[in-house]
Structure 1
């Protein structure tokens, strides 16, 4: 928990932030402005909880996945067969790179899903070049097999089982991840017309007045929840009708269009955000587009979202499925896979091929138009 102490010094007033969280090394910093002190405190607390401060996570009693892997390599791996050890090093290395710095208590099924999805669509580099007519030919990159993905998933399950045995965690996040492939079945879940109307109405009438513009943002742009909630006012250019997403899954900055209904909503919403900051923190450098009540960080919409789902009667639907809905609607309106991939921020077409069948009618129309013109 962060405390801020006001102190008078020869050079003037300063504010000392002191963050003490159980099992985590103490964090301290001094500021000349109270606003800066509050913002730093909020960001640092969030970073600690998310496992983003590596030097803190690794020395904390709240263990990181890297701590589990290192103990497993030290105490368990040497007792396994040599062939098993060699294979395990590959899987352990992947998890150490991807999630090693994360605190165990903040590794969720959704986070594991993302990493498994990334793994599933990455080329398998084990294929060896072949010779033809005396020339070496590199094989086309192939996705990893279901069997290989299962090995990665099972290795992570073993790590969490040991962490549980050692008393480091209370529950295994792998319980929420498909046990056969290591990834949840690829979802094509999107809202039909009735579901969309019901869910949007529930969001519009929610006690959380920010839920509706957030959901409209997701449905209009295909942006991920983390990308939307990571936006600040500096990232939004209403004159040009663009929002710049900086904290994206693939690490690359991309922009999304703000048009129509979303544009109208954000005009009013941004005015409210600015009024709120001007009253409480007029000098704040960081102004979240969707701030929480104290304005020091982005809002958490989990409870409001669950309430809206219950109110609307929409079943088996996650916020991330808004992204699938956007892609599906685009495909049904005739957008090509390249256009959908660009909108959603995918580097390859692999992740958007699932929507190809939805654009069949549009392709038929193009083919009929071509036939009429050339034959």
Structure 2
């Protein structure tokens, strides 16, 4: 139970709120009784808030220190996570983790929304939540200012893919790129539906020329899967074949994969006159080509490695002509032999 005590001074009266939490007495003073009552009410109903006021770790451990410790032990495959947690370190890093409240996080998310898409803002929110789950696991600190903040509605309708004119132009531009493996990378992205990170991390040890597959270890969805290779992809791979190492090594540093090849990618798009197109859209191109050539949503889901077919629904409209041909083939003659009376 919190108590409010009026304290009369020479010039004005202040109001002190006191309460016990985890065996520790906590007090805070306010210039008006209304503010003191509001604080006491929040302490009563918001357990996270009350816990943050009394826990020593929450009051002394800076968010920047948590980020540093988290990244030192992080071994996951999400290359964007470090960038997102470092963002929080830049804007809130000098605050103790317990002083970072839900309203403060909401304010920062609204600022982000002015320059990022809702989907991106949700990823930043998730990154901050990951830091606080790390705190819970490592320090048994049950405070998470992200808890209770709903995700922003995401617009996942973008399904930009290469049309019949753009595809050959882009492939031709990649063939004459200053990086000799850009064509291979783009060809694999289109024909396998592999993600950028999956492809550039690929090693020769994972390529099986007999079964014409590439084995992926733990993917973004936390599962293993196989990429199946076309004859064209096999022939292009044979031109660079090695017994071990990265398929896409950093030029002159074969022990490192080529992560930042974007300058070559952008140059190829410029040469091919392809606008408003991301590397990830090659994955959409794979799905759209499958859909328009008769593949079912389940088959597209399996090729792309989606965890749920719900994620594949965006390609449903591209399967319409295939559905029409199917229903016509099965039911087109159903009325034959039916008399009119």
- With the shorter chain as reference, the TM-score category is 0.5 to 0.7
1:341 to 1:202, Cα distance in 2 relative to 1, 3 A: same
Q: Answer whether contact 1:236 1:243 (CA < 8 A) is retained.
A: yes
Partner Cα separation in structure 1 for residue 159 and residue 123 of structure 2: 29
Pairwise mapping of residues 202-213 of structure 1 onto structure 2 (< 5 A)?
Answer: 202-213=173-184
1:267 to 1:315, Cα distance in 2 relative to 1, 3 A: same
Partner Cα separation in structure 1 for residue 124 and residue 285 of structure 2: 35
Q: Which residue of 2 aligns with 1:316?
A: 276
Find 1:75's aligned residue among 84, 96, 99: 99
Deviation digits for residues 288-331 of structure 1 (CA, Å, limit 9, x no counterpart): 11111210111132111011111111000000000000001100
Alignment root-mean-square deviation, CA? 3.7
Q: Which runs of 5+ in 1 are unaligned?
A: 1-47, 85-89, 103-125, 127-146, 151-180, 275-285
Deviation digits for residues 268-300 of structure 1 (CA, Å, limit 9, x no counterpart): 121xx45xxxxxxxxxxx511111121011113
TM-score of the superposition, structure 2-length normalised?
Answer: 0.59
1:235 to 1:245, Cα distance in 2 relative to 1, 3 A: same
Q: Does 1:341 align with 2:312?
A: no
Aligned residues: 229
Find 1:187's aligned residue among 149, 154, 158: 158
Q: Which residue of 2 aligns with 1:5?
A: none
Q: Answer whether contact 1:64 1:101 (CA < 8 A) is retained.
A: no
Q: Answer whether contact 1:231 1:290 (CA < 8 A) is retained.
A: yes
* CA shift for structure 1 position 100: 7.0
Q: Does 1:305 align with 2:265?
A: yes
Q: Which runs of 5+ in 2 are unaligned?
A: 1-67, 76-81, 108-121, 135-147, 336-341
Partner Cα separation in structure 2 for residue 91 and residue 309 of structure 1: 28
Find 1:96's aligned residue among 128, 132, 136: 128
Partner Cα separation in structure 2 for residue 259 and residue 194 of structure 1: 21
Q: Answer whether contact 2:292 2:318 (CA < 8 A) is retained.
A: yes
Rg (Cα) greater in structure: 2
Partner Cα separation in structure 1 for residue 186 and residue 133 of structure 2: 31
Q: Which residue of 2 aligns with 1:295?
A: 254
Q: Answer whether contact 1:230 1:247 (CA < 8 A) is retained.
A: no
* CA shift for structure 1 position 91: 10
Per the alignment, in what secondary structure is the counterpart of residue 227 of structure 2?
strand
Q: Does 1:369 align with 2:340?
A: no
Q: Answer whether contact 1:218 1:225 (CA < 8 A) is retained.
A: yes
1:54 to 1:264, Cα distance in 2 relative to 1, 3 A: closer
Q: List, as ranges, runs of 4+ consecutive aligned residues in structure 1 with deviation greater than 6 Å.
A: 90-93, 99-102
Partner Cα separation in structure 2 for residue 246 and residue 289 of structure 1: 15
1:363 to 1:63, Cα distance in 2 relative to 1, 3 A: closer
1:353 to 1:297, Cα distance in 2 relative to 1, 3 A: same
Partner Cα separation in structure 1 for residue 131 and residue 267 of structure 2: 31
Partner Cα separation in structure 2 for residue 191 and residue 253 of structure 1: 28
* CA shift for structure 1 position 71: 3.0
Q: Does 1:197 align with 2:158?
A: no
Deviation digits for residues 57-82 of structure 1 (CA, Å, limit 9, x no counterpart): xxx9x97467547937433428x59x
Per the alignment, in what secondary structure is the counterpart of residue 284 of structure 2?
helix
Partner Cα separation in structure 2 for residue 321 and residue 243 of structure 1: 21
Find 2:216's aligned residue among 233, 237, 245: 245
Q: Answer whether contact 2:85 2:128 (CA < 8 A) is retained.
A: no
Find 1:224's aligned residue among 195, 217, 225: 195
* CA shift for structure 1 position 263: 1.2
1:205 to 1:324, Cα distance in 2 relative to 1, 3 A: same
Partner Cα separation in structure 2 for residue 93 and residue 255 of structure 1: 32
